[in-house]
């Protein structure tokens, strides 16, 4: 199936407007007010008209995470190594929390807005406006096609995009975003397709430390600390459990697979033949639920 293209979809509220000269509207969404908007449209595979609650919830969760990475970028500056959203201060987290608006009947168009008042930042004269967060969100998605821009993306934002790309393997054919500022100006739409998901994988491959060898290890995940992002793995042939750490982004995946058999890839520390510690760089697979 060829990659989907932007179709110029017109939502019901605009189709029902009286005849005149309505402003053209790419993709879909609610009528914008004074708050900037990020409108998401999901295209189910094979011309389908249903999605699972798990997929829909995952899209909302990852979209919110990407907005938080965008907010962190504009508030504190770019940091390619940043990944831990839990380290954000509460005022910034609340400031960048999306408000989901009612879905249009019979569609997977998800309008959301940033309705917070400008946030005063320590050491800065000008407060942070939600328009800047929406603009950065749009640039993060566009950076996937621009290697120079992608180099400054935080590793956490890249992994968020990777997780969104994984949804294209099952129920979703593509994910489209339109961002709208408080002046009702629509920025260039972004579409996540399987081809773009492959670009994300290549960008992450380039971030791997080339001087260190990554090894795979399989075992049963017996414990996971959601505060420290540490875990214990029961490995066949070794009496003592293997301890390890993961990036904060992998925490939801680890929590879902507690008690299951998993395969992880990373840097292994050994004492003789015994595996002592694992720093996870990639989660490979786990048991189906």
Q: What is the pLDDT of residues 241-270, one digit of tens each?
A: 999 888 777 888 888 899 999 999 888 888
Q: Is residue 45 part of a domain?
A: yes
- Contact call for residues 29 and 113 (beta carbons, < 8 A): no
Residues 186 and 229 in one domain: no
Last residue of a domain, one of 156, 183, 207: 207
Give the model's pLDDT for residue 118.
Answer: 93
Last residue of a domain, one of 166, 181, 207: 207
Residue 150 confidence (pLDDT) above 60: yes
Least confident of 73-82, 139-148, 161-170, 276-285: 276-285
Give the model's pLDDT for residue 229.
Answer: 83
Give the model's pLDDT for residue 280.
Answer: 86
pLDDT digits (tens, 9 = 90+) for 51-101: 899 999 999 999 999 999 999 999 998 888 888 898 899 999 999 999 998
Residues 75 and 198 in one domain: yes
Residues 133 and 220 in one domain: no
Q: Give the residue among 36, 41, 11 at the shortest CA–CA distance from 190.
A: 41
Last residue of a domain, one of 207, 235, 262: 207
pLDDT digits (tens, 9 = 90+) for 186-219: 999 999 999 999 999 998 888 876 556 788 899 9
* Full-model pTM: 0.67
The confidence band for 23, taking pLDDT boundaries of 50, 70 and 90, is very low
Q: Give the residue among 67, 151, 153 at the shortest CA–CA distance from 115.
A: 67
Q: Is residue 105 part of a domain?
A: yes
Residues 228 and 189 in one domain: no
- Average pLDDT value over all residues in the chain: 83
Q: Is residue 80 part of a domain?
A: yes
β-strand pairing of 190-192 with 99-100? unpaired
| Residues of the domain holding 281 | 215-286
Q: Is residue 149 part of a domain?
A: yes
Calpha distance 265→156 (Å, rounded): 18
Instruction: Tally the domains of the chain.
Output: 2
Residues 37 and 64 in one domain: yes
The predicted model gives 166-175 an average pLDDT of 91
Which residues, other chains included, contact 152 with Cβ-Cβ below 8 Å and sequence gap of 6+? 78, 80, 143
Structure tokens at 134: 């929406």
Residue 170 confidence (pLDDT) above 70: yes
Residues 135 and 263 in one domain: no
Structure tokens at 264: 């992880």
Residue 14 confidence (pLDDT) above 80: no
Residues 70 and 99 in one domain: yes
Q: Is residue 64 part of a domain?
A: yes
Residues 190 and 221 in one domain: no
Residues 270 and 231 in one domain: yes
Residues 155 and 71 in one domain: yes
- Contact call for residues 15 and 85 (beta carbons, < 8 A): no
Residues 219 and 203 in one domain: no
Calpha distance 244→247 (Å, rounded): 11
CA distances from 73 to 31, 131, 188, 207 (A): 28, 13, 20, 19
CATH code, domain carrying 244: 2.40.50.140
Higher pLDDT, 151 or 161: 161
Calpha distance 73→92 (Å, rounded): 11
Q: 126 burial class (0-12, 13-18, 19+ CB within 10 angstroms)? A: exposed
Q: Is residue 184 part of a domain?
A: yes
Residue 106 confidence (pLDDT) above 90: no
Residues 22 and 70 in one domain: yes
Q: Is residue 103 part of a domain?
A: yes
Higher pLDDT, 287 or 280: 280
């Amino acid at each position: 199936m060829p990659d989907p293209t932007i179709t110029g979809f017109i939502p019901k509220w605009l189709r029902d407007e009286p005849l005149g000269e309505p402003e053209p509207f790419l993709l879909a969404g609610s009528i914008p007010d004074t708050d900037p908007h990020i409108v998401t449209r999901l295209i189910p595979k094979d011309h389908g008209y249903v999605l699972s609650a798990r997929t829909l919830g995952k899209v909302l969760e990852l979209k919110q995470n990407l907005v938080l990475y965008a907010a962190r970028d504009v508030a504190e500056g770019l940091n390619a190594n940043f990944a831990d959203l839990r380290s954000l201060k509460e005022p910034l987290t609340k400031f960048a929390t999306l408000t989901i608006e009612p879905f249009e009947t019979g569609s997977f168009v998800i309008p959301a807005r940033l309705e917070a008042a400008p946030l005063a930042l320590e050491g800065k004269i000008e407060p942070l406006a939600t328009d800047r967060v929406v603009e950065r969100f749009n640039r993060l998605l566009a950076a996937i096609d621009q290697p120079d821009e992608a180099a400054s993306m935080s590793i956490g934002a890249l992994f968020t995009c990777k997780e969104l790309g994984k949804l294209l393997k099952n129920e979703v054919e593509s994910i489209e975003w339109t961002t709208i500022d408080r002046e009702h100006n629509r920025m260039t739409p972004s579409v996540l397709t399987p081809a773009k998901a492959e670009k994300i994988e290549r960008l992450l491959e380039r971030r791997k430390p080339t001087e260190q060898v990554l090894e795979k290890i399989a075992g049963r995940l017996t414990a996971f600390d959601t505060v420290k992002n540490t875990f214990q793995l029961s490995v066949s042939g070794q009496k003592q459990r293997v301890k390890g750490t993961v990036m904060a982004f992998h925490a939801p995946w680890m929590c879902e697979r507690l008690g299951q058999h998993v395969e992880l890839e990373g840097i292994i520390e050994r004492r003789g033949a015994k595996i002592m510690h694992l720093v996870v760089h990639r989660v490979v697979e786990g048991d189906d639920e």
